[in-house]
Amino acid sequence: MKYFLYWGCSLEGTGANFLVSLKPVCEALGMEFEEIEDWNCCGASVSYAGANDLAIKVLNARNLAIAEGAAGHDIVAPCSSCYVQMIKVNHEIQEDPELLRQVNECLAEGGLSYGGGIKVRHIQDVLYNDVGVDKIKARVTKPLNGLKVAGYVGCQSVRPFGEYDSVNKPVVQDRLLEALGAEAVPFPRKIRCCGSGIFLPEIDYCMGLVKDILEDALNHGAQLISTVCPMCAMNLEMYQGRINEAYGTEFDLPVVYLSQLMAVAFGMDLKKDAALNYNVIPPEGILKAAVG
Amino acid sequence: MENMVNYDPSFAEEVFRDVDAGDEIKMCMNCGVCAGSCPLREHMDYPPRQIFGLIRAGKREEVLSSKAIMLCTSCYTCVVKCPRNIPVMDVMHGLAHYALKQGYVPRKDTASFGKEFWKQVYRLGRIDEKDLPRRVFFSGGLVEGIKAMLNFMDIGLRLMLHHRMKLLPERKIKGVKSLQKMLDKAEGLGKGGAAA
């Protein structure tokens, strides 16, 4: 199982615990990753302030073209923003020959061209459909023993196309959590937005969104939240102190990446592989108690 | 003719022609599902449904200066819920882009965040997560910049202590020059309107 792993800018910084934990976990499951040579940023959610739509499409098409010109494996994006930007552009290009022509006219300025032959996939898709729940279960040596986890899907990892999961009632993350031995608590706000890329500039408006999500997770008995998106992780974890000040709440709920939980359940090193020391709200206590 | 409401179609035509995804609103039946599903609707002056109505009614000023067009979190909820398959999010992004080009600033902080974001993508080919907030904070002047820096210092420090802040500055990708040529071409070839 060879893939291009397009991890994007955040996973080298604020989302580093995602990338650090993802690599050993995927290796243990027999996945092989290559990097897209000299990849660029996907433009994320706010580039429209400076660029027109075609420029944002061309930005993503450059990565697609490089991948197609190399080995042509599927591209796997763990960051949901990278995923949605790239899959959206890819679909639009594949469906509209005139757009493909325009994009190629731009790519030609840098000596590239894209034929539309690459598949873009989210990490949850690959874990669920290529690796499969059975193989993941078989690799678990330290099951999470009914740890109550709120699987926060967020928005961009399943929308807009619903390629591998429902856009309204997603289940894939819950099935993966259950494979690790956790109890995926029902959690209606699992697909409500956290503010994503505009949390920082619109913090006064977006804190309320995160407050509602945290509250919902706790009300459904969650001991921690899992996520697959560096914006979700950042917004849900780093601003709990601010939210407590603003709303008089007492949130202190760990937020970890799904891949960190996998590393723990695979019996890997809690620091080197699961990167639990990267989390600001420490999840070690809860996880150690769960795995026994 | 006395009882006729005078709708001015010129702004709608402008939107269809010059705004990215602007022509998609022709399909809108004003059901309001986009507004009902939007996470930030309560903070909007006009939710998307009303923005589309205002476009049809020719209210250029109201639309291009509305904060709603820049309050999109890009969650795609409206896109997956719209019964007429309108990519509402794309229309809002297109309108915000067009408004900024025309000299309007629908949301000050999000506008400077987005502009700095794109400048960095263009300059480096990647995003430098330390450098970006710094540039955004100081885009409103020195005093405001220092205030904002101090305000968010705790978050930055915690990230740094937990290995979640790259310490070295982000380097340019190797192909940045050729990337810029591609993006310049796209800027000329695409929609989005010329600067006012």
| CB-based contact B113 A201, cutoff 8 Å | yes
CA distances from B13 to B56, B60, B70 (A): 9, 11, 21
Confidence of residue B5 (pLDDT cuts 50, 70, 90): low
What residues of chain A lie within 8 A of the CB of B125, using their CB? 40-41
Neighbours of B96 (CB within 10 A): 29
**3-class secondary structure, A4:** strand
The answer to whether the CB of A286 falls within 8 A of the CB of A182 is no
Which of A130-134, A227-231, B7-11 is the least confident region? B7-11
**What is the chain A residue with the closest CA to B152?**
A200
* CA torsion through residues A231, A204, A216, A241, sign: positive
pLDDT in tens, B123-156: 999 999 888 888 888 888 888 889 888 888 899 9
**What is the chain A residue with the closest CA to B175?**
A38
> Class for domain B10-101, per CATH?
mainly alpha
> Using alpha carbons only, what angle is made at residue A156 by residues B62 and A47, rounded to the nearest 5 degrees?
50
- CB contact burial A135-158 (16+ within 10 A = b; e otherwise): ebeebbebbbeebbbbbbbbbbbb
Q: Does A33 lie at the interface with B, CB-CB under 8 angstroms?
A: no
Instruction: In whole angstroms, give the CA distance from residue A263 to residue A269.
Output: 8
**What is the chain B residue with the closest CA to A153?**
B75
pLDDT, position B140: 81
How many residue pairs from chains A and B have C-beta atoms closer than 8 A? 225
Q: Give the mean pLDDT of A246-258.
A: 98
What residues of chain B lie within 8 A of the CB of A238, using their CB? 155, 158-159
| CB-based contact B186 A54, cutoff 8 Å | yes
**What is the chain A residue with the closest CA to B105?**
A49
| CB-based contact B185 A109, cutoff 8 Å | yes
| Burial (Cβ within 10 Å: 0-12, 13-18, ≥19) of residue B88 | buried
Residue B87 C-alpha, separation from nearest chain A C-alpha, in angstroms: 9
pLDDT in tens, B59-117: 999 999 999 999 999 999 999 999 999 999 999 999 999 999 999 999 999 999 999 99
pLDDT, position A83: 98
Instruction: Give the domains, in start order, of chain A with CATH numbers.
Output: 2-123 (1.20.1050.140), 133-291 (3.40.50.11810)
pLDDT, position B167: 84
Q: For the residues of chain B, what is the DSSP string, one character each?
A: -TT-----THHHHHHHHHSTTGGGGGG-----HHHHH-TTGGG-SS-HHHHHHHHHTT-HHHHHT-GGGG------HHHHH-TT---HHHHHHHHHHHHHHTT--SSHHHHHHHHHHHHHHHHHSS--TTHHHHHHHHTT-HHHHHHHHHHHHHHHHHHHHTT-S-SSPPPPPTTHHHHHHHHHHHHHHS-S----
Say if residue A18's pLDDT is above 90.
Answer: yes
| CB-based contact B125 A277, cutoff 8 Å | no
pLDDT in tens, B72-88: 999 999 999 999 999 99
Confidence of residue A7 (pLDDT cuts 50, 70, 90): very high
Say if residue B7's pLDDT is above 80.
Answer: no
Bond from prior residue into A160 cis (ω within 30 degrees of 0): yes
pLDDT in tens, A120-159: 999 999 999 999 999 999 999 999 999 999 999 999 999 9
Say if residue A117's pLDDT is above 90.
Answer: yes
pLDDT, position B3: 62
Across chain B, mean pLDDT equals: 93
pLDDT, position B94: 97
Interface of A with B in 78-97 (CB under 8 A): 84
pLDDT, position B195: 63
Confidence of residue B166 (pLDDT cuts 50, 70, 90): confident
Confidence of residue A242 (pLDDT cuts 50, 70, 90): very high
Q: Does A106 lie at the interface with B, CB-CB under 8 angstroms?
A: yes
Instruction: In whole angstroms, give the CA distance from residue A146 to residue B105.
Output: 50
Say if residue B196's pLDDT is above 90.
Answer: no
Q: B162, B166, B170: best mutation site toward chain A, by most A Cβ within 10 Å?
A: B162
pLDDT, position B93: 98
**Strand-pair category, A255-257 with A224-227:** parallel
What residues of chain A lie within 8 A of the CB of B110, using their CB? 46, 49, 198, 201-202
Q: Does A282 lie at the interface with B, CB-CB under 8 angstroms?
A: no
Q: Tokens 């976990």 belong to which residue?
A: A25
Residue A135 C-alpha, separation from nearest chain B C-alpha, in angstroms: 31
| CB-based contact A55 B113, cutoff 8 Å | no
What ipTM did this prediction achieve?
Answer: 0.95
The answer to whether the CB of A256 falls within 8 A of the CB of A224 is yes
pLDDT, position B194: 67
Comparing CB atoms, the residue among B154, B179, B190 nearest residue A110 is B179
pLDDT, position A292: 86
What residues of chain A lie within 8 A of the CB of B170, using their CB? 9
Q: Does A146 lie at the interface with B, CB-CB under 8 angstroms?
A: no
| Backbone angles phi and psi of A43, in degrees to 5 | 90, -15
Q: Tokens 């804190």 belong to which residue?
A: A207
The answer to whether the CB of A118 falls within 8 A of the CB of A65 is no
Q: Does A63 lie at the interface with B, CB-CB under 8 angstroms?
A: no
- In single-letter form, the type of residue at position B41 comes to R
The H or E element spanning position A89 is helix A80-95
Provide the CB-side half-sphere exposure for B124 (13 A, CA). Answer: 20
Q: Give the mean pLDDT of A261-287.
A: 98
Q: Which two tokens stand for residue A77?
A: 């994006």
* Helix ranges, A130-277 (H): 133-139, 172-179, 203-219, 230-238, 240-247, 258-265
Confidence of residue A49 (pLDDT cuts 50, 70, 90): very high
Which of A90, A47, A42, A157 shows the shortest CA–CA distance to B20? A47
**What is the chain B residue with the closest CA to A242?**
B155
Q: Give the mean pLDDT of B164-168.
A: 88
Q: Does A164 lie at the interface with B, CB-CB under 8 angstroms?
A: no
Provide the CB-side half-sphere exposure for A29 (13 A, CA). Answer: 30
Instruction: In whole angstroms, give the CA distance from residue A27 to residue B170.
Output: 27
pLDDT, position B133: 86
Q: Does A192 lie at the interface with B, CB-CB under 8 angstroms?
A: yes
**3-class secondary structure, A224:** strand
Say if residue B6's pLDDT is above 90.
Answer: no
What residues of chain B lie within 8 A of the CB of A102, using their CB? 189-190
* Helix ranges, A132-171 (H): 133-139
Domains of chain B by residue range: 10-101, 108-189
The answer to whether the CB of A156 falls within 8 A of the CB of A194 is no
